[in-house]
Amino acid sequence: MFALAEITQEDRLYRGLCQVLDDDRYCCLAGTAQLGEFKIVDDFPTAYTDGRNVYFGREFITKLTDAEIRGVIVHELAHIFRRHMLSLMWMWEKDAQLSNVVWDMVINIQITEENAHDKFAVLPEPHIYDAKYKGMTEVQVWEDMYKEGQGGQGGKEGEGEGSGGFDEHGVEKFRELTEQEQKDLDDETTEAIRQGLLAAEKSGKPKNQNIADLVAVKIPWDSILQEWMVTTFGVGEDATFRKPNKRYLHMDIIRPTAIQDNLKDVLIAIDTSGSCCNEKVLSKFLSIVRNILETVSVNKVHLLFWDTEIRRYEVYGQGHAPVSELVNTTMQQGAEGGGGTTPNCIPLYMEQHNIKPEGAIVLTDGYIWGGWGDGLWDCPVLWGILNNPNAVPTNNKKVDVTI
């Protein structure tokens, strides 16, 4: 008689990962899972990811059921494909404890709903969950909790303390990466998600729309802005194609890398008309603004909120509030508006108040009245049009945005 070999915790982790990637709901995560390694370590109390790798504490995994191992695997992969460290570090820097709660809340709600009927992936107790936040994004959950005064303090170690979750977040390990290493990881993560979705589609698996949406709204603002600036201002022209953008190399497309030069003065105008004056659209517009400010070094930002007239005007940088505070401040204050959509009011306001930026970026849904301001603009304009491919500005450059 042959004795069966004892199943190790490494065997259980590998088996759980295979089961997750074989499941119709999560097979599209194969690319994300291949970004790094899955390891069991002896000196960690729970589980965590650093944005690439996933680690389980040996004592922690020993106490988990197989369904809970699958649940934690999906949970940690979600931190990666939702780009929590790549895109939402501003939350952690402002309030580390609250950011942990927010990130876990959105993930746990999604996992719970996806597994309600068969309990394939189960979250260990204790875990963070509040049904009131169903269907909300991280930014929306953050805004609600921040207003209620929940959270602790920003940018401190001991990240998981007091959050009520079963895992911790390897933010400090992620922060050891250089700026270029973080950008490379962002590019690799985007490509890994796309490749996973493509592989699942080719194998006839159903699409996980929650994951597909994360890459569907990804806009290469670095390349778009660089091309716009090169053709408009000549900024960075000498070095534009010196180092090709790795994001496009696999498609045999040569595009420029991120902008190195500074814009001294830029205007960003956000549409707050009736069709745009809601939390979902504002959050999308602000995510675009954050992406722009992370891409281009801007000394001064003129921020306008408009519908048929300018509802609010703020300035950031050069003697005003830091540019880095723009998104956070706007989220807390909200936006005023609710009327029609008349872009003409923007250049008219600029002229009346002697605002002379190097360029303007206008974010709108494109359902306008009264024209696009032809003959009124005295600077180049980049139009970001939300969910309206039929809208065609009669001047300057257009970029389509979807949510």
Q: Which domains does the chain have, with CATH numbers?
A: 9-212 (no CATH), 261-401 (3.40.50.410)
- Strand ranges inside 307-380, DSSP E: 310-316, 359-364
User: What pLDDT does residue 24 have?
Assistant: 92
Q: What is the pLDDT of residues 368-389, one digit of tens each?
A: 888 899 999 999 899 988 878 7
Q: Which helix (H) or strand (E) holds 57?
A: strand 54-57
User: What pLDDT does residue 221 have?
Assistant: 58
User: What pLDDT does residue 240 have?
Assistant: 38
User: What pLDDT does residue 57 have?
Assistant: 94
3-state secondary structure of 259: coil
Give the Cα separation of 400 and 65 in Å (integer). 46
CA 383-299-295 angle, to 5 degrees, is 55
User: What pLDDT does residue 296 have?
Assistant: 67
Q: How many CB atoms lie within 10 A of CB 102?
A: 31
Sheet of 47-49, strand order? 38-41, 54-57, 47-49
User: What pLDDT does residue 223 have?
Assistant: 59
pTM (global) more than 0.85: no
The one-letter amino acid code at 3 reads A
**Contact 121/127 with Cβ under 8 angstroms?**
no
Closest CA to 79 of 96, 100, 58: 100
Contact partners, residue 94, CB within 8 Å, separation at least 6: 154, 328
User: What pLDDT does residue 199 have?
Assistant: 85
- pLDDT means over runs of 10, the chain (403 residues): 73 96 93 94 92 95 96 96 85 87 94 96 93 86 78 47 62 88 88 86 77 61 62 50 43 43 79 81 79 73 92 87 76 75 94 93 88 91 85 84 66
Tokens of 78: 């979600």
Give the Cα separation of 289 and 324 in Å (integer). 11
User: What pLDDT does residue 224 have?
Assistant: 67
Cα dist. 318→197, 265, 300, 386 in Å? 44, 10, 6, 30
User: What pLDDT does residue 120 have?
Assistant: 97
Q: What is the mean pLDDT of the chain?
A: 81
**Contact 254/242 with Cβ under 8 angstroms?**
no
359-364 and 266-271 strand pairing: parallel
User: What pLDDT does residue 187 have?
Assistant: 85
User: What pLDDT does residue 286 have?
Assistant: 81
